[in-house]
Structure 1
Amino acid sequence: MLQPIIHGFLLALGLILPLGAQNVFVFNQGANHKKVIGALPVIITAGLCDTFLIVLAILGVSLILMSLPILQMVIYIIGLIFLIYMAWSLWNEKPNNLKNYDSMSAKKQIGFALSVSLLNPHAIMDTIGVIGTSASVYTGTDKLLFSISTIVVSWLWFILLAILGKLLGSVDKTGKYIILLNKFSSVIVIIVSLIIVKNIIDLIL
């Protein structure tokens, strides 16, 4: 019974640790709010999106969706538009301890979190190709335990990222490091956008 739990934990941790647009954005929002509760919209949205993708992957539904080239193209294009706007917003964002600055609204957090979670082809393929495939070796209770383990890792990781971001925000009284973080976050998102452009070209050709 412990095997599927440990397997799911280590697998999900390995997939979620690498630096990507989703992780950067959650960390960024933790740093840009006075309290961690201000980043709850992005934490909850990212957690729910990962849960949704994991469940789809384990049920096998996502494999059917991603086998349709037209659907892939639509996801890529919508995702690219969101990411470009997000990169621009992050580049121009300033920390909330500077004058005349309002933290990113809950609505905006949710919109960006949805785009970097559900419209990120690489995150989708990781979930389908790795978690979905790994889950297929289990049945019944073991599969349920494996699924729960991977989902729990996602939620705990996003909470931890926001807390770490908040710690950076607390230490950075001048806002200098937060501004650098925002610029860095924007560059990461642009890199992800360029990868999506390459995927779109590959689909067309």
Structure 2
Amino acid sequence: MEPLIHGILLAFGLILPLGVQNVFIFNQGATHTNFMKALPAVITAGICDTILIYLAVAGVSVIVFSFEWLKLLLFLAGFLFLAYMGWVIWKDNPTINSKREQKGFSARRQITFATSVSLLNPHAILDTIGVIGTSSLGYTGYEKWMFTLACIVVSWVWFLSLAIVGRKIGQIDGNGKFLNYLNKTSAVIIWIMALYMGYQFYVLLGE
């Protein structure tokens, strides 16, 4: 049971903070009048997280952290990516009214955006590889797969829950004020994460 509980707590700890991925999934739930139309974003994010977690547990973390230049590249890319995505979220103005269905992303756009904020987000990659990957090194065999499965299940449950909560908020928040407030708050948090990535890049560069 220890690997299972460890995986659940660790995955929740990593996925709970507001980030680009979470805000996007939440907004898709809120801006579609039909919950099913937000599923492409949920499923894509779930699949991407599953891939990242599997690769991390499979030993990619050992490879990544063996190369100093690769860590530098990830931190620099993370700073630039998060700074840009923070700006995109800050400028976004969710429309929650009778025309909100037109504001929601199409299935194709949801898949593209969810993939980019999942697989092209260096901060998420470092979280997965650096934390989940290294934590899994303490387990072998059956216990390692229990740990891995727990992390994956938490991701899927979390994304589904986010979209469902977003849908409910969208029904209540008729003028979109709450979503605008959430976007502004999320953008500030994402910029703080960007500064952290930039600081880590500066520290590594000076070593």
TM interval, short-chain normalised: 0.7 to 0.9
Distance in 2 of aligned mates of 1:184 and 1:22: 14
Q: Which amino acid aligns with 2:50?
A: T
8 Å Cα contact 2:60/2:133 also seen in 1? no
Q: Which amino acid aligns with 1:144?
A: W
- Partner residue, 1:3: 2
Structure 2 CA distance for partners of 1:79 and 1:109, relative to 1, 3 Å: farther
- Partner residue, 1:61: 60
- Partner residue, 2:184: 183
8 Å Cα contact 1:86/1:112 also seen in 2? no
8 Å Cα contact 1:32/1:178 also seen in 2? no
Distance in 2 of aligned mates of 1:137 and 1:40: 35
1:134-145 alignment to 2 at 5 Å? 134-145=135-146
Distance in 1 of aligned mates of 2:71 and 2:133: 18
Render the CA deviation track for 1:117-146: whole Å, top value 9, x for unaligned: 334444333323432233223222222222
Distance in 2 of aligned mates of 1:62 and 1:81: 22
1:1-205 alignment to 2 at 5 Å? 2-90=1-89, 91-97=91-97, 102-205=103-206
Structure 2 CA distance for partners of 1:88 and 1:57, relative to 1, 3 Å: same
Q: What is the CA-CA distance between 1:40 and the residue it aligns to?
A: 2.0
Q: What is the CA-CA distance between 1:51 and the residue it aligns to?
A: 1.2
Render the CA deviation track for 1:129-186: whole Å, top value 9, x for unaligned: 4322332232222222221111111110111011111111110112222222233333
Tell me, what secondary structure is at the counterpart of 1:199?
Answer: helix
Structure 2 CA distance for partners of 1:176 and 1:63, relative to 1, 3 Å: same
Q: Which amino acid aligns with 1:138?
A: Y
Q: Runs in 1 of length 4+ with deviation above 6 angstroms?
A: none
Distance in 2 of aligned mates of 1:98 and 1:79: 37
Distance in 1 of aligned mates of 2:86 and 2:98: 21
For these two proteins, the number of residue pairs brought into alignment is: 204
Distance in 1 of aligned mates of 2:154 and 2:87: 30
8 Å Cα contact 1:23/1:161 also seen in 2? yes
Tell me, what secondary structure is at the counterpart of 1:51?
Answer: helix
Distance in 1 of aligned mates of 2:173 and 2:2: 42
Compute the TM-score of the two structures, normalised by the length of structure 2: 0.80
Compute the TM-score of the two structures, normalised by the length of structure 1: 0.81
8 Å Cα contact 2:18/2:186 also seen in 1? no
Distance in 2 of aligned mates of 1:88 and 1:108: 19
Pairwise CA RMSD: 2.7
Please list every run of 5 or more consecutive structure 1 residues that lacks an aligned counterpart in the other structure. none
Q: What is the CA-CA distance between 1:77 and the residue it aligns to?
A: 4.4
Please list every run of 5 or more consecutive structure 2 residues that lacks an aligned counterpart in the other structure. none
Distance in 1 of aligned mates of 2:83 and 2:130: 26
Structure 2 CA distance for partners of 1:192 and 1:166, relative to 1, 3 Å: same
Distance in 2 of aligned mates of 1:195 and 1:70: 18
